[in-house]
Every structure is written in C-alpha cells, then in structure tokens.
Amino acid sequence: MSDLRHECGLAAIYHLPAADTSPLCPGQDQEQASRLMPRMLLDIQNRGQLSAGMTAWHPHRSQLLATYKDVGSVSEVFRMSHRGKYESLMEQHAGRAAIGHVRYATCGAEDRGYAQPLERPHIQKRKWFAFGFNGQLANYPELRAEILATDDAHLARDNDTEVILHAIGRELSGTADPSPADLLAAIAHRFDGAWNLAILDACGRLIVARDPLGIRPLEYARLGPLVAACSESVALLNLGFPAESIRSLEPGTALVVEGDQLRIERFAEAPTRARCFFEWVYFANVASTMDERSVYLSRKRLGEELAELETVPVDRDTVVVPVPDTSKAAADAMAYRLAIPSVEGLIRNRYTGRTFIDGAAGRRQKAETKYTPLREVLEGKRVFLVEDSIVRSTTMRVLLGRMRSLGRAREIHVRVACPPIVAPCFYGIDMSTIDELFAPEFLAGGPLTEEAQARMAARLGADSLRYLPVESVARSIGFAADELCQACLTGRYPTPAGERLYQIALAQSESGQRPARTYEPATP
C-alpha cells in the first residue's frame, strides 16, 4: 500500500493556569507548552508528510494567535536539525496552548497556502480563531456550490478545509457567543463525512471535536495542569502521559478547555459508529491504541487469519517475507502459526521519497529503488510475501519483478492481510475513483473467487495470490462489522453523500470517463 496516501493528523496541547509546572515539561513556565507540539507531530508524521504547522496562543503577546506552517516534513518545517533556527521559531511561537497539523492532500494543491492550521483573524477575540482538520467532507461539492451561489462570494482554495473555515466563521458572526456544543451542533448538521477538528481562538478557548460517526480516531489525556489530544495515542504516550490516562474521545463529543476548566461536551447524538478499519490495518502507528483496540494486536490477528487459510505446502526452503513496515506484525504472526521463518528479504530505503506523488510513471520509478531484495535470503526459496493491502498494484508488480530478477526467489505467493479494495473512499483516503483500483476489474462486482485471485496473481507476476475475506477484518480488530466503515471493501457507505458519490463513480467507470476525483467533472 505504499502507493496510497494517508489522511492528515491533528494534535493539541494546553497548559492550564497553575502555579506549578507540568511534570512533562519541568523547569518551563506554562507559556512554553507549545514547545511540545513539534514532538507530538513527529509521532504522527506517518499520517502526513506533505506539510506541517502549528498555531500557538499567548495571552500576553500582541499577536495572540501566532501560526507557523510550511510544506515539508515536521523536521524540515520546524528546522529541527538547526538548533538556533528551531529555538528562534519556538520563541516566536511560544504559548500556553497550541494546535498542530500534518497533512497529505486528498484534495487541493500541494503548496503552503493549503498547509494547516488555517487562521481567520478578527478584531473581536472570540471571532479570531485557527483550526486544523482531519478527514474529508463527502458533501463538499454541495457545500462549495452553496457558498458560491451568490455573486460576491469567493473561495481561494479548492478543498473542503476552506469550506469548514467559512462554516465556523458563519456560526461566530452573530452578536451572541455560541457555546462549543452549539457551534459544533450547527456545523454537524451540515457536514457529511469524516471531520475531526481542533479549534483554538484568541480568547484561549480550545475545542477538539470528533465527528458523530467516529470515522477517524482521536485520543486525549491529562496529567496535572497539562492536557493534550492527538489523532493517535502513541504521541501522548511518548510525551510522557501514562497509558492509563489516555482515553478515546467519543464520537459526537468535544474536549473543551476554557479558562482553568476542562470538560467533555456532547454536541450530537451518535447512535451508530463507522470507524475506518484501515486505521488498524495500515494507517496508524503500530504502537497506537485507538478506541481501546491495539493496532499491533489487530495486525497480528490478521496474520493468524492468513495462516488459517494457507494451502500451499511448506518445507525447509519456505519463508515468510513482510513488505516493510506495516506488514511485519501480520507476517510474523502468519509465520509463527505455520512454523516457518519470518525473514527480512526486503530492505526498505527510507530516503527515496513517497512512491505515489508523481503519478503512475513516478510511482514505478521510485518503487524500483524503494525496496532492495536480499538475494542471500530469497534465492531458491518459496516465499510467502505478506502485504497489508493492494490498492493500485504499481509497487507490487515492480517489487515482484525485482524479487525474481535480483533476489532469485523460486516461488512468490502473495498474501494480503486485507480483503480486496473495490470501491473509492470519500472520507479522507486518496482513492476517489474506481478505475484507479486494482481489484474491481477482476471481480466485476461479484464475490472473491479462487479463479479471480488466480487471474490477479498472473497480472502481478505472482505464483499465487490470496486475500482475506471481509469477515476477517471485524474479527481481527474486535468490533462488530456494523461499527466499522468498510465501504471500500463492500461498496456500502455510512453516509448519504458517500453513497451518492459511489453511484457517480460507478457511472463514470462504466462510461469510460476519467476524472481526477469522483466529484469533479469527468472527461472522456
């Protein structure tokens, strides 16, 4: 799945007014809490490497909210390899509260103007705010058209983040100051999709909200005067919060810090859940726990499920090889169950860049240098190659060719710790059309069969291919199937706008149209 974009990542930190300093930042006053933000963003760098940024609040600075962001990794943006420049940035953006963001682009250009947080200055402090957003609004086209319906309206950015900026601004535009719950309830009524938000205003009020379906994860913790929230628990754990203090924010609720008070407020009823299963299968850090479900243990159980289905005979020359890095837990578990070695037959070059950023040709070129097969490990072996998923197949085809030509593997049997991806995602993952996906051509809307998997194996250049059935996902993560969003596996979407976009995607695929995104005008 190295040719698939992640979503974004959110983080927030707040030092409550207190005479004592936090045990997590000893020797520093409360106005230096923002220094912890780059550390948090580094731990969720897996969720976005296109841009990074933060907004800090300092009540004794003329620039109450100070935003810094740019294109690049966290280390690049915050100049972490240059001590003097890093210290200067931290001094300029000191504050007792901060929100942060790392981004990949599911829509919108790849430049600094699209980096987050976005800030909306205003002469009134309560209307001056910054926010970061993780997810994607499936009804973005309708919301955008609604804003542009009047002649004097204009949107500077081609993405749903600016739509959210205007939605929040509209709710704050009246003379009354809406409560956080009222503000979120108003926008929740209009939004369809995944939308975790972190909002910080010039009054020092912090709001961290999770959408009513809970599509994307959001964790929080408190230790003494320090409060933090993040897309993944690993960032809180590495910051020093005890594991027992880390909680998942419930869907339809918000963490609110106002003055010296921390509270959890419900802003929308959440009778159903639609957690993205991909968080456990691929996106999240293997050290994270989300909604009380361990990422590592989920992947381990997926590997055990693969082992239960295995029919290819094993001998002393049979090995399991994970595609680094997210497949390792599944591969190790599969190997243990089959009583054969799990070996590092592929070495990942971590400095080649991301394989999906330059289109199909660029992905292929970078895939050729991303993994180095080890001939000493692979030569003459029957290999079970374990991958977390196959989306577009560019990387897999190149990889198999290199394992045969350079690694001299005797047989390669691809085992996928996930069912086939057959439908687009409209909730924050960069796969918006059917024709870009590998599996639909072979399944043609039908069930997963041995014959279909044999044809896929031939296309990839593998000796055999096996996916997990859909039922394995819920079993491995530990949720009921109806508590997970598995739309890209089943074509059944948890929101009305998602279902509408899928019907458009099907029509575009059948007519041979090739839009960049399903909600854009298609061209022959």
Question: Three-class SS string for 483-496?
Answer: HEECHHHHCCCCCH
pLDDT at position 473 over 50: yes
Q: Say if residues 111 and 96 touch (Cβ distance below 8 Å).
A: no
Q: Any idea what the CATH number is for the domain that residue 401 is in?
A: 3.40.50.2020
Looking at the domain assignment, is residue 500 inside a domain? yes
Same domain, residue pair 313 and 243: no
pLDDT tens digits along 55-65? 999 999 999 99
* Residues 416, 387: Cα–Cα separation, whole Å: 5
Q: Which of 221, 243, 272 is the last residue of a domain?
A: 272
* Containing structural domain, residue 75: 9-272
Q: What is the pTM of this model?
A: 0.92
Same domain, residue pair 326 and 263: no
Same domain, residue pair 310 and 257: no
Give the pLDDT confidence score for residue 420 in this predicted structure: 97
The one-letter amino acid at 417: A
Looking at the domain assignment, is residue 139 inside a domain? yes
Give the pLDDT confidence score for residue 22 in this predicted structure: 67
pLDDT tens digits along 270-285? 899 999 999 999 999 9
Give the pLDDT confidence score for residue 356 in this predicted structure: 39
Same domain, residue pair 264 and 317: no
Same domain, residue pair 178 and 221: yes
Same domain, residue pair 37 and 128: yes
Q: Say if residues 214 and 291 touch (Cβ distance below 8 Å).
A: yes
Mean pLDDT within 389-414: 95
pLDDT tens digits along 392-404? 898 899 999 999 9
* Residues 366, 146: Cα–Cα separation, whole Å: 41
- SS3 at position 401: helix
pLDDT tens digits along 96-154? 999 999 997 655 556 788 899 999 999 999 999 999 999 999 999 999 998 888 778 88
* Residues 436, 514: Cα–Cα separation, whole Å: 9
Same domain, residue pair 254 and 325: no
Q: Any idea what the CATH number is for the domain that residue 118 is in?
A: 3.60.20.10
Same domain, residue pair 355 and 258: no
Same domain, residue pair 241 and 303: no
Same domain, residue pair 472 and 341: yes
Looking at the domain assignment, is residue 286 inside a domain? no
pLDDT tens digits along 143-155? 999 888 877 888 8
- SS3 at position 300: helix
Where would I find the H helices in 4-73? 37-43
Q: Determine the number of helices (DSSP H) and then strands (DSSP E) in the chain.
A: 18, 23
Helix (H) or strand (E) holding 378: helix 375-378
Give the pLDDT confidence score for residue 175 in this predicted structure: 82
Q: Which of 272, 304, 328 is the last residue of a domain?
A: 272
Q: Which of 272, 305, 326 is the last residue of a domain?
A: 272
Give the pLDDT confidence score for residue 520 in this predicted structure: 59
Looking at the domain assignment, is residue 517 inside a domain? no
Q: Say if residues 254 and 179 touch (Cβ distance below 8 Å).
A: no
Same domain, residue pair 347 and 305: yes
* Residues 476, 281: Cα–Cα separation, whole Å: 10
Looking at the domain assignment, is residue 99 inside a domain? yes
Looking at the domain assignment, is residue 518 inside a domain? no
Of the candidates 499, 516, 518, which has an alpha carbon nearest to the alpha carbon of residue 508?
Answer: 518
* Residues 280, 256: Cα–Cα separation, whole Å: 27
Same domain, residue pair 429 and 334: yes
Place 3 in a pLDDT band, splitting at 50, 70 and 90.
Answer: very low
Of the candidates 75, 431, 46, which has an alpha carbon nearest to the alpha carbon of residue 217?
Answer: 46
Contact residues for 232 (Cβ-Cβ < 8 A; gap 6+): 9, 43, 44, 47, 217, 219, 284, 285, 288, 290
Mean pLDDT within 16-38: 78
Looking at the domain assignment, is residue 251 inside a domain? yes
Looking at the domain assignment, is residue 1 inside a domain? no
Number of domains in the chain: 2
Cα 30 off chain centre by? 31
* Residues 435, 441: Cα–Cα separation, whole Å: 8
Q: Which amino acids are annotated catalytic?
A: 8
Give the pLDDT confidence score for residue 403 in this predicted structure: 97
